[in-house]
Amino acid sequence: MTAENRAAERTVEESADGGELFNIGQVLDLLRADFPGLISIPKIRLLEQDGLITPHRTASGYRKFSHRDVERIRYVLRMQRDHYLPKKVIAEHLDAMDRGLEPPEAAPVVPTVPTVSLASDGTPSADSFRRTDNLRLSRKELVKIAEVSDELLRELEDARLITAVRGYYDSDALVIAQTAKELAEFGIEPRHLRGMKAAADREVGLVQQIVAPQLRTNDPAARARAEETAAEVAALSVRLHATLIKAGLKRP
């Protein structure tokens, strides 16, 4: 390397604003802990090819990254990991930031726990039993969103509290997984919940017995009334169950 090239290298090392510059290996070290498995040297080069970052180049062609470059890479990785945003949308965010604007708030694109309608006493209302949704989660998504381990999910499946339908889990499975995780913090394991599952199955059987005559007809109105009745009876059953537990805890 000539003296002239070395002088050019030193100029770049200091950065245009006097800040520190990093080589690509140092950038990898800075980000690896926060984004394990997501960041690599080829990934960084790809972000440059896509125009999402523009690192400095030394006279000999080596990339040098500023703190701003590192933060842009961090932003890209976070948007991809947490919000699954495509590069085109991320590029629009970065452009807005470059122009002094606040980027649009990234709306979550992962499923969240559906809102449950509650009665005035805090128990589920009939509306919560009428609620239906088309939520389908993969096993990986359920584990991530519920923040449970694979081991806990397997135990819940073994206890038959959660069942995948054609390889997917619904919103009820999500709520069960989250609730089981919270119970586990008190030492209550999935195997301890089998009795609750059996009690719930008995209550389901009672509700189904009540509406069975209406469901046996071909009258759409009768079937609609059966759904309404099932929701109301289920809500009353849960209210009674919760109140009996509360009353039992009051006993000396």
Looking at residue 198, its amino acid is: A
Look at residue 111 and tell me if it is in a domain: no
Instruction: Check residue 111 and give its pLDDT.
Output: 54
C-alpha span between 102 and 98 (Å, rounded): 9
Q: Does 112 map to a domain?
A: no
Structural domain contains residue 117: no
Taking the chain (252 residues) in consecutive chunks of 10 residues, what is each chunk's mean pLDDT?
41 56 94 89 92 92 93 93 85 88 69 63 77 79 90 95 92 91 94 93 93 86 87 91 90 78
Query: Angle CA(163)–CA(164)–CA(170) in degrees, nearest 5?
Result: 95
- Tokens representing residue 188 in the block: 């209550």
pLDDT at 68: 93
The number of domains in the chain is 2
Tell me: do 90 and 18 sit in the same domain: yes
Residue 240 is classified by DSSP as: H
**Statement to judge: residues 130 and 221 lie in one domain:** yes
Are 173 and 224 part of one and the same domain?
Answer: yes
46 in any annotated domain: yes
**Is the domain of 195 the same as that of 135?**
yes
CATH of the domain at 181: 1.10.1660
What is residue 4's predicted lDDT score, i.e. its pLDDT? 40
144 and 180 co-located in one domain: yes
pLDDT the model gives residue 145 = 85
Please give the pLDDT value at position 86: 84
End-to-end CA distance of the chain: 87
Domain hosting 45: range is 3-98
Query: Closest Cα to residue 242, out of 206, 191, 190, 203?
Result: 203
Instruction: Tell me how far CA of residue 132 lies from CA of 73, 95, 110, 170, 215, in angstroms.
Output: 40, 40, 18, 10, 19
